[in-house]
A and B are shown apart, each in its own frame.
Chain A
Amino acid sequence: MAGAKEIRTKIASIKSTQKITRAMEMVAAAKMRKAQDRMQASRPYAEKISQVIGHVALANPEYHHVFMTPRSEVKRIGYVIVSSDRGLCGGLNSNLFRSLVKEIKDLQAEGKELVYCTVGSKSLGFFRRVGGKVLAQVSHLGDAPHIEDLVGTIKVMLDAYTQGEVDEIRLAYNTFVNTMTQQPTVSQLVPLVPGADAAELKHHWDYIYEPDARVILDNLLTTYIEFISYQAVVENGACEQSARMVAMKSATDNAGELINELQLIYNKARQSAITQEISEIVGGAAAIAN
């Protein structure tokens, strides 16, 4: 009966782990609902402002904002990477990093320089580990991020673009497809990308700007960049909670299976110990009777 006690302690330890994972699952489920609401509330605005920006990129304005003109030669690319602050959320961050690393390697092979700007402590940790020039970082934005907390970090990148230190800015984050699926996404933030409905707006045209093109465009572009980054953060937040919920659910299920298996082994060990004891007694009694 030597193994029985060990197995019992092991079962107890797995049970307490299971309790923790179950609690984390429930917390993540509750947070997920809020995070998804937040994401869905701001999604229409983000979609529409991207559409408008897509049109603006196609116009032939009298005033060219720096963000509107693609540079002839792209030497340095800035990445804004949105990740979670905490781990234990399945492959969420590592999937994003894996797809990024692939892209980064290709770009480096082409001789491009890369600089980064990280949102969330996981991406900061990642670039500390693998090396890479991090211009700015922000983390611990909390469950309900505010645009104001983000703006400073994004501005560092935009200033670098305006001063010609980087020639392109891309945004990397996870898009929320549904609770089970999160899609790592990299999109170009600056210079603006013309919209998908380019064909119907091909002719030479421009907006009427009231009161003034410069004011309107500066205003619109700032709002756009801030809002798109904010959307990326809330979207990533919703992804984080759902990924964590799924990861914790499978951890809880695994723990349950493990407990069942161990329980079976424990029962067998106990049974065989009892059988052995009885047969010893019977054997002893038989020897005395003889």
Chain B
Amino acid sequence: MAMTLHIDIVSAEGHLYTGQGQMVYAPAVMGEIGIAPRHTPLLTRLKPGDVRVDPGNNQPHQHFYVSGGMIEVQPFKVTILADTGIRAADLDEAAAQEAKRRAEDALANRQADMDMAKAQAELAEAVAQLKIISQLRNIR
């Protein structure tokens, strides 16, 4: 039997995924990482992006969007603590476009009291969401 990982994905608003899988891909701050069973323990932060779970047995990959968070890797266990997370299929493209436009607006005509870091973070989130949406569309 092939080795599998136990994967838990939770966000502050609820539980997203629990199950076995062969591989997990996550957007770590230092670049995207892929985790296979027997990975060495790892603790790192995530940036906004797409978490993919390969359940094995030629099943389709599961996509999740996370807005940032932490990932903890133990040899046979991966825990993803997302700040906010959503199943990629539930992402709202129109809302993401709107959020991107708003964030770009805010960055373009910067007001004195505008929080730049916040606008940049919002922009990064919206861009990440749109990227996942277009990726998903290519798969289908």
Contacts and interface: CB of A to CB of B under 8 A. Distances in A.
Interface stretch (B4-12, B88-96, B109-117, B122-130): B4-12
Interface string B69-89: 010101000010100000000
Interface in A186-222: 201, 205-211, 216-217, 219-220
Interface string B35-62: 0000011111100000000000000000
Contacts of A44: 10, 14-15
B36 to A, nearest CB: 15
A162 B127 CA distance: 40
Contacts of B15: 44-45
A227 interface: yes
B70 A205 contact: no
Given A206-B41, A208-B43, A216-B44, A45 B28 contact: no
Tier of interface size on chain B: 20 to 34
A205 B41 contact: yes
Nearest to A61: B43
B136 interface: no
Interface in B16-46: 28-30, 40-45
Contacts, number: 67
Interface string A33-49: 00000000110110111
Interface stretch (A51-59, A112-120, A235-243, A251-259): A51-59
Given A210-B29, A211-B30, A48 B41 contact: no
Contact of B41 (A45, A208, A220): A208
A223 interface: yes
B11 to A, nearest CB: 6
A56 B81 contact: no
Nearest to A205: B41
A145 B25 CA distance: 34
A68 to B, nearest CB: 13
A45 B43 contact: no
Q: Which of A47, A59, A207 has the most CB of B within 10 A?
A: A207
Given A48-B10, A55-B41, 7 more contacts: A52-B81, A55-B74, A207-B72, A208-B43, A211-B30, A216-B70, A227-B12
Interface of A: 41-42, 44-45, 47-49, 51-52, 55-56, 59, 201, 205-211, 216-217, 219-220, 223, 227
14 contacts: A41-B14, A42-B13, A44-B14, A52-B72, A55-B74, A59-B41, A207-B42, A208-B42, A210-B28, A211-B30, A211-B44, A216-B43, A216-B45, A220-B70
Interface of B: 8, 10-15, 28-30, 40-45, 70, 72, 74, 79, 81
